[in-house]
Structure 1
């Protein structure tokens, strides 16, 4: 405003002349007041607009030569438009434009058609339009950000819900596994108590069975305790926990559903521990389910179960498309079924990898130790000697 007050727009040959005029003391005071009011424009935009419009009107009526004090009102009007709603912007904007332009045309010292008067109309109109555009842009960006945050929260909640369901299923499976061992312990303990006096050798053998069964139960409980639901479990199912001995039945259900599946498995494979056998079965089940859901109508699947040293390796291959959103790799945040498989395998100290195959299709590969390592599967708050869950 101070710089503009020294410029004469009516210089020689229609050009601007710098230093051709000098503002008087009243104009300088009004410019200072207008600029000082703008300091509070974000705190009280309406009051600041009223104050700057007042000093602008005083300058329009008394100023000679005229100083651009009205620019303070232009900035204040922009702030009002950027911080209020559109109806308020229309009402306040037109009122400000009409007031300042009308006073400049009919009360000011210049002719009503002077370009300075038309400039006031243009500047106030542009300020209201620019402020409304900025407000609309901010609202649009905020809406997009809110939708993105809501979608992220929904995705995380859905993931947590799916994981909770998988943990509940593991808890139910574990019920069957542990119940088997506890029943065996109960029977053998009864035998030992019955023959302790007359046949101590048979009692000793029964107690050995009790020790073996209880150790197996403890190992399987430690392997899964970190994944179990802590409270509010519904009643556990009564059917036995599935294992690889039911692999043919599982594959048959997918074949009946139209998915060709080939199985490669050694006939004389050793018996797996119950927890490992269950995890292997669930990995094959989930992998074939993903093939059936995502690999397309012409997909084919191959399942192999191979014993390699101290581990058993399960591989499920298909010839479907390279990647779909529902079959993303667990590290990328999608695929709740893959996340459940990863938790189940990790609880036994194994590893699982899943990803697209070169040339098309998908591959799920799990390595499970036959003697499950339970160190990493125990919850941090669970003592290694505590079996409570």
Structure 2
């Protein structure tokens, strides 16, 4: 990995842009506001009805740790209750601002959260101020709600940008590794070709000349005949060792049988059975009318399915749904399953497999897309059945 790529892959946001850290900070501040409000209400002799808002806000903070939007709604209801029923209410709409930041930094759209929280807070404070729509408290509270949602959304955007840059760096590095590996493989083939065409040919010719020389020797020249036989035996050993070297170079160190047929679409059911035997539940559905498939597309389809199932086994959970369809001269492969609760980053093993599938699809003239919504992971590959390039 180059120094610039490594630096980008390991880059971290400044502390004031780390959403998870700031989310914890505003949670602490929210609970501090709740505790302070309870003490203030107690010191002012607030009746029990006045505690309704603070109780709802506390319940919303707890619920929001598990369900963002329901928690926000309960916190807003608490702030509205505090504005309408209690003598002190400022701390409660402050908690609304903190909660808006929390839910937006954790993924909720800012405009949706602001509409849910800002309008009820504004209207409740307008009512408290005897229907004064220009009341400073109502306007300030609404503006603070907008700021909280906007800041949370901005922090999340920064996090997403950094993560995307990290992923691009890792993908670029993986692509570079693939290019190096491909170059090494091409060089192996070139060396094997040179050995076969030059060294192998010359050694074979040498063996022929030695045979001619042996036949031409006088009958009584035993010493020369023995030396020629030894030389011919050495030539045979050289040829044998050269063949072994050629086999290693052409196979590139792969342990697969070089005489094994090239994998294609017909071998996918057997591949799926190996995954099922390993404990992976695969729901397989293939179009029975696929017809003739170009060998390049067939090999790419097999390898994409193999890598997709491996990726689902390592990083997903639950059954894998695999569907292969053919229509209008195109072959579609879709593999999807649920994301694991504890997911690894691409740097921990997921990125190279995805890059490999992309490269495999491109090598066959197709394309591959990946959809990940946090709950479901889907890989979709599209190839032309005639082996052509998809425009």
TM (norm. structure 2) is 0.47
Between Structure 1 and Structure 2, the one with more helix by share is 2
Q: Considering only CA atoms, is the larger Rg found in Structure 1 or Structure 2? A: 1
TM (norm. structure 1) is 0.47
